[in-house]
Amino acid sequence: MKINKNYISYFFLSLFLLYGLDNFIFERQFFFNEILSLLGLIFFIFKVLLNQQNGIIKVPSSPIYRLVIFIIFLGLFHLTTSIFTKTNWYFYFRNSVIVYSVFSFFAGFYLYAQLKSFMVRVRFLLIFYMSYALIFPSIALLERFMGTAFFPFWFKNKNLLNIALLIFLDVLLAVRYESLTVFIVIFLLIIIIFIPNYTYFKAFILSVTLVFLTFFIAFIPAFNQYKNGYYSLFGDIKKVANEHWLLSLDGNSTWRAVFWYRVTVENFPRNIIGIGFGTPLLSYKKGANTVESDYDDEHDIHVMGVHNTYLTVGVRMGILFHLFLIYIFHFVFQDFYNYRFYYRQNSSDYWVIISFLSVSIVGLFNLVIESPTGASLFWVSLGFVAKAIENRKSYFRLLTSSS
């Protein structure tokens, strides 16, 4: 009996959905991130490498697709050079998730054709599951950060009522799971949805960046106070917080800021080209254990992120990674704003973009693409978006040719 190809696609889309809803269970127990990454690699081999014409490899015209390939080559370069700089093989292979997970992008790109029909079939189950998880909050039911990425799939249409419901659901998620990150995701999503055009969006991003850098630079003398006091892997955060009332408002934010300062300033200029894989983000004392975890400082500083996924990977892979990523987001936002009227009429594409942006915002404050528990959620979602943009381009080419 011949198996319908759609059902095979639905199976892998189910893995993606379960992985996103509760990545701690479905990744740590069943390695869904690795399965999706392997699927993406298989797609890439058969759709690109083995699909040659006269010895010429043809790559889709999507600029996002090509930038992802550049990121893979950059990662492979660092994997090669890091063989000579790594601390040991264990840490090297733990960091390699940053590279091999990128291949899951191709799974999203080539499975997108079946995504809409798949979501029609599972929407009721998704709503039931997430509603239950909101009524009875538990990390075993819903990963609180990534839950924001799947609320958009509840909706069939794009209208103000659905946007209001999306915001309400995210607020409820944030309150029930006591997550400040989700509140930030909501705030930024509202801004993204209601900003009128790409020019205003760029102005908003530039303003936020300048304000952040101004405060960050102004607080550098306070950040340096982490050195004063007893040894701790992250330093004396309490002393830093006592330097200014703003730094004492939220310990988690201050800890992140000090961490960001140390990996950017203390790793300079190595972080310009990238410190590689299997190497420590910060200096540590052998055998010491000053972090609330099951592992010693050496383990933590090799495998953890700085709670800004783009900064973590940028430190390891260098400024080229940031340049590739900036161009990726440029193409996503430019298309979203310039062709908003199209996406309003094609609500499935609209919500796919909103879902990807939810994951992207979470990455500003948490581990995503450097961790197997979140990497494929980002890259598969980006694959969906890249294909949605290519579908939009094909639609406009048909309109042009028929007119």
Q: Is the pLDDT of residue 9 over 50?
A: yes
Domain that holds residue 65: 5-205+309-402
Q: Is residue 287 part of a domain?
A: no
CB 315 within 8 A of CB 267: yes
Q: Is residue 211 part of a domain?
A: no
Q: Is the pLDDT of residue 216 over 80?
A: yes
Q: Is the pLDDT of residue 273 over 90?
A: yes
pLDDT digits (tens, 9 = 90+) for 77-117: 999 999 999 999 999 999 999 999 999 999 999 999 999 99
Alpha-carbon span 378 to 358, nearest angstrom: 10
In the chain the first and final C-alpha atoms are separated, in Å, by 45
Share of the chain above pLDDT 70, in %: 99
Q: Which amino acid is at 143?
A: E
Work out the pLDDT band at 3, boundaries 50, 70, 90: low
The arithmetic mean of pLDDT across residues 180-202, rounded, is 93
Q: What is the CA radius of gyration of the chain?
A: 22
pTM of structure: 0.96
Mean pLDDT over all residues of the chain? 93
Q: Is the pLDDT of residue 147 over 70?
A: yes
* pLDDT value, residue 1: 46
With vertex at residue 123, the alpha carbon angle to CA 106 and CA 174, rounded to the nearest 5 degrees, is: 85
Q: Is residue 277 part of a domain?
A: no
CB 149 within 8 A of CB 359: yes
Alpha-carbon span 387 to 111, nearest angstrom: 9
CB-CB neighbours of 306 under 10 Å: 23
Q: Is the pLDDT of residue 361 over 90?
A: yes
